[in-house]
Amino acid sequence: MARIFALRSVLRLAWRDMCRHRARTTFSTLLIALPMMALIVGATLMTGAPPMRERALRSIPEGAQAVITATAVKRDGNPFEQPPEGASIWMDEITQQPASEDELKRIVPSSDKLLPYWDSEQLIAATATGLQPGQVESAKNSSIGGTLAQSGTGTARLCEAGAEALGMLLPKLSEGTVPSNADEIVVTSGLASRIGADIGDTITLIAPPFQGSYSTNGRIAAVIQNSQRAWRISGIVADDAISKAWARDGWMSGMVARDGGAGVDRHYLVVGDKPITWRQVKKMNLLQTVAVSRHVLTDGYPNASERYPSRIDSQALLQYAVGFIVAVAMGVALVLCLVTPAFSISVDQSRRTMGLASACGAGPRDVRNMFGLQGVCSGFAGGVIGMLAGIGGIYVMAPSVIHVDVHEIPQVIPWGLLPLVVMTSTLIGAFATWMPARRAGRMNVVDALRDRPDGLERERYAGKGAGKIALISGPMLMLAACGCAVASMRVKVSDVSSPGVLPEGSGTSLVLLVAAIVLAMIGLSRLVKGLIVIYGAVGRSLPLSIRTGLRDSAEHHRRFVPATIAVVLTTALASYAMVLIGSTLANDRSMELVHGQSHVILSAEVPVNDDTDRMVVADGIRKLGDTASFKDHQPIYALAQPDAESTMNLTGKAYDDIYAQYPTVKALLATELHCEVNERQQYGQDMASAFDPNGAPYCVNWSKSYEAVGYTGLSMINMDPSVIIMSADAMRMTGFPNAEQAARTLEEGGVVVGNAAALREDGTVTLQVSHRTLDDDGNSGSEHVVRQSVRKATWMKGFYPLAMSERTARELGIVNLRYVGDIAALDHVHGWSAIERLRKATSDMPLVSMTSQRYQYEWATDADGAKITLAPIVALGLLALTATVVSLLLSRTQTIRDMTTMHAVGASPGFLRRLGLVQAMTILLPGCR
């Protein structure tokens, strides 16, 4: 009981001390809260993912037990390994028949029924076609071109189903009624406003010629191509974001039935009283069918042992693990270094109070508890404030960073982490006060009452020795950290692993990386302490203001060392963030071809044929002229490819003869590259050697290779976009630094390459012309080499793999070309606002596609991303400044008497300002280094 009463007295003294020094209490609490907030927000943005289970549940219409997709994936005896939330992408076999309705009925409960529906690919929507509702006609290329030449056209996707299924698939109507017959249709408000239609108007959907691109609907685009049908609009769904339509079945379903349905994915709603279990889902997986069940996602979610094992991306795993460890370790160290000086100064400020308490009977434990309780209270309050601020930060940043809706944010917040954050902040507060409290408990009562420093000479002598030891041990620890980091990078981490198993070597690499981080932090701390402590010894010949400031820093190293370490850690974190962000952005830009400066490539969003696409692009350029001034525009082409539908049933010589008319060209590497052949993993040329003329190519995982570069911004035209056919004038428009040299090369019959590893020392490349062939088993075999040619070449960093003039292409035997679009040179497109205006203007033209302008953002891939990218760097810079300011403000309360005395004996205000500047530089300069 006596201890309880004593603790109450100690708590009262601690509370009074906190209230008396409000600035110190506020600073220490906020310094704990801010990193805790950053930890919560950072952990959410790094590891948070959209709530796929909730999204999957919303994809199941009300009243349905499940949504089933019978894919056209080849049946090889292995199941389709889907997660319970469904599958996002797969590769259909165009000759494979998906699971039939009868096969699926044997698996689903007998009381349930299957309701089929069909989803289309991108269609052309128009109002002025002359067709009457219910009328179906063949859409010839000329008629499509005539339709696009008129106003009131757009793009849309169609969902077609029977009456019962359609009632379940339709969102709530804002006006009108659901289709009562096959001649009526419901559209979104976005589509209606785009084509200028309303309830009662006639709308025609046109299926353009198939361009060879398949999706999760299989061959549906090929089956319905060159067909058009008209409906009367009966209702409108309030949704301005998408262009979609819903109608009774008959148009697409009829064509699929006449075609036979090979390669066309089938979609079904399961309706009935009995649920679809995970066991039934796995049975359907054996039929290469994907099922998303309401019961599985709610009451019957399978445990880990029942789900299919997933492969682990070792690089992503290491990146997340290291990032999280770096953030947590440095965050905790940063908080300790920021908060500890506050309580160190508190000990000096409260010397007389502690002396009086000790004289009145308080023991060393009571004195220690007085400061320890302040740390616990500040830590707990900082944790709660940081938790609340972190939740607010997630609501602000999560929608744009991890692309979740506002109502989904509670599901991505790491609720289990929040109590841990509060507990950690409380422990940090307690630990931050441990050393100051320990020193307070050992304080001499007489010296405390006289407000005289305790053992200053002994501390100064010991400090110099400790400084020398720290100067030696600090670099040694940092060398050890470098050794661990190098060893971690040299550990071979396998690119291939068994499903659900960590890749070989990843654990060792992670342990070494963690060891490197910890050793580096300790080494930095020791080095800083050594520098601070010996400051007083090295400044004897310097001016008085500098010498006084350095000596003050050395004598009060408990206050200056933690603040300096905080600046060092903050600078290290900012450097880490800048390198990581810069590397990530450089990698993203390397994986996406850029298009020079001040120009765009415009192409048709829904390609039809060369003539129609030219008309669409010309109209787009004319309309964009109101937003951006075009200096000129030139057409560009690519190598045409045969229609996959016309070749899927060909064999032997007939197949070879078709592809012989559509050869392809590639620039061979100057140094031949032999990559490992692995059935489970493909390999290709590394990205760095393609961007560095002096780099030697080596093999990497195919997903990270140069071959995996995306040709973004170009429409899904039946072509080979790796080879661009363009004139010299078009090349000059690209805005690349060496565009003029590349244009002259094209005029001289040479080529332009985007792969530096293909360029030989004499400035030439070897071009190989080849075409696809079938092997004896009827599968696509090796390329048949037609010829090779050595041409003069110019390397253009970031450009398409190969570009040549039309004359050079014909000399190589390339005669079948496909119009891609026009490259248009802009007068001025600089800054985020100008790019956003151009992008918005293009979004208002649904038939026109524009190449990405992401490369014009210096810090990110769009305006919002640039702001978010800069945010952590700016925040860390402000934190370093805050650490310095707080340390100086706190030290000012301790040195005010000394400065008052110096001013009284003749020190000028300039001398005192220089003294304060030296103290600030003592903290900042080691951090900058």
**Residues in CB range of 258: below 8 A, 6 or more apart:** none
Distances (CA, A) of 173 to 116, 158, 237: 22, 16, 5
pLDDT in the model for residue 926: 64
Secondary structure of residue 3 in the 3-state scheme: helix
CA distance 100 to 446: 94
Task: For residue range 172-225, list pLDDT tens digits in order.
Answer: 999 999 999 999 999 999 999 988 899 999 999 999 888 777 788 888 998 998
351-376 mean pLDDT: 69
Confidence of residue 28 (pLDDT cuts 50, 70, 90): confident
pLDDT in the model for residue 275: 93
Is 635 in contact with 817 (CB distance < 8 Å)? Answer: no
Least confident of 197-211, 378-392, 442-456, 638-652: 442-456
Confidence of residue 900 (pLDDT cuts 50, 70, 90): confident
619 has pLDDT over 50: yes
Comparing CA positions, the residue from 154, 249, 245, 220 lying closest to residue 193 is: 154
Pairing mode, strands 66-70 and 289-293: antiparallel
CA distance 252 to 475: 72
Confidence of residue 554 (pLDDT cuts 50, 70, 90): low
Task: For residue range 468-500, list pLDDT tens digits in order.
Answer: 676 778 788 888 888 888 887 777 766 555 555
Which of the listed ranges 249-258, 367-376, 544-553 does the model predict with the highest average pLDDT? 249-258
Residues pairing with 767 in the sheet: 667, 789
Residue with tokens 């697409």: 252
φ, ψ of residue 46 in degrees (nearest 5): -80, -40
**Residues in CB range of 32: below 8 A, 6 or more apart:** 335, 339, 378, 379, 381, 382, 383, 386, 425, 428, 429
Comparing CA positions, the residue from 566, 557, 556, 469 lying closest to residue 525 is: 566
Secondary structure of residue 187 in the 3-state scheme: strand
DSSP structural state of residue 76: -
Please, what's the largest Cα pairwise distance for the chain?
106
**Residues in CB range of 464: below 8 A, 6 or more apart:** 533, 534, 537
Determine the angle formed by the axes of helices 557-590 and 544-555, rounding to 10 degrees.
Answer: 90
CA distance 133 to 250: 13
Question: ∠ at Cα 833 (829, 834), nearest 5°?
Answer: 20
pLDDT over 90 percentage in the chain:
24
Average pLDDT of the chain, as a whole number: 78
Confidence of residue 706 (pLDDT cuts 50, 70, 90): confident
661-675 mean pLDDT: 87
Taking the alpha carbons at both ends of the chain, their separation in whole angstroms is: 55
pLDDT in the model for residue 252: 94
Comparing CA positions, the residue from 878, 736, 901 lying closest to residue 803 is: 736
Confidence of residue 407 (pLDDT cuts 50, 70, 90): confident
Q: How many other CB atoms sit within 10 Å of the CB of residue 742?
A: 26
φ, ψ of residue 608 in degrees (nearest 5): -120, -70
CA distance 353 to 372: 16
Helices (H), 252-313: 252-259, 278-285, 294-297
Higher pLDDT, 878 or 276: 276
CA distance 78 to 216: 19
Structure tokens at 4: 């309880």
Is 591 in contact with 708 (CB distance < 8 Å)? Answer: yes
Question: ∠ at Cα 581 (578, 587), nearest 5°?
Answer: 135
pLDDT in the model for residue 855: 46
Q: How many other CB atoms sit within 10 Å of the CB of residue 701?
A: 17
pLDDT in the model for residue 235: 95
CA distance 812 to 809: 5
CA distance 752 to 794: 5
CA distance 880 to 565: 10
Q: HEC states along 476-497? A: HHHHHHHHHHHHHHHCCCCCCC
863 has pLDDT over 80: no
Distances (CA, A) of 169 to 54, 179, 297, 546: 17, 12, 19, 77
Higher pLDDT, 644 or 636: 636
Confidence of residue 118 (pLDDT cuts 50, 70, 90): very high
Structure tokens at 770: 């080849």
CA distance 364 to 445: 10
Is 347 in contact with 438 (CB distance < 8 Å)? Answer: no
CA distance 474 to 521: 10
Residue with tokens 């559209």: 187
461 has pLDDT over 50: no
Distances (CA, A) of 897 to 793, 892, 901, 909: 75, 9, 6, 15
Is 527 in contact with 475 (CB distance < 8 Å)? Answer: yes
Burial label for 755, CB within 10 Å (0-12, 13-18, 19+), is buried
**Residues in CB range of 579: below 8 A, 6 or more apart:** none
Is 473 in contact with 528 (CB distance < 8 Å)? Answer: no
Task: For residue range 729-759, list pLDDT tens digits in order.
Answer: 999 888 788 889 999 999 999 999 988 999 9
pLDDT in the model for residue 807: 94
pLDDT in the model for residue 456: 44
What is the residue type of 335? V
Confidence of residue 800 (pLDDT cuts 50, 70, 90): confident
684-705 mean pLDDT: 82
The torsion angle over the Cα atoms of residues 256, 261, 262 and 268, rounded to 10 degrees, is 110
CA distance 443 to 358: 10
Residue with tokens 């009935």: 272
CA distance 740 to 354: 79
The torsion angle over the Cα atoms of residues 859, 865, 867 and 868, rounded to 10 degrees, is -110
Is the pTM here over 0.85, yes or no?
no
DSSP structural state of residue 801: S
122-149 mean pLDDT: 77
CA 676 to chain centre: 30
pLDDT in the model for residue 856: 47
**Residues in CB range of 698: below 8 A, 6 or more apart:** 673, 685, 686, 689
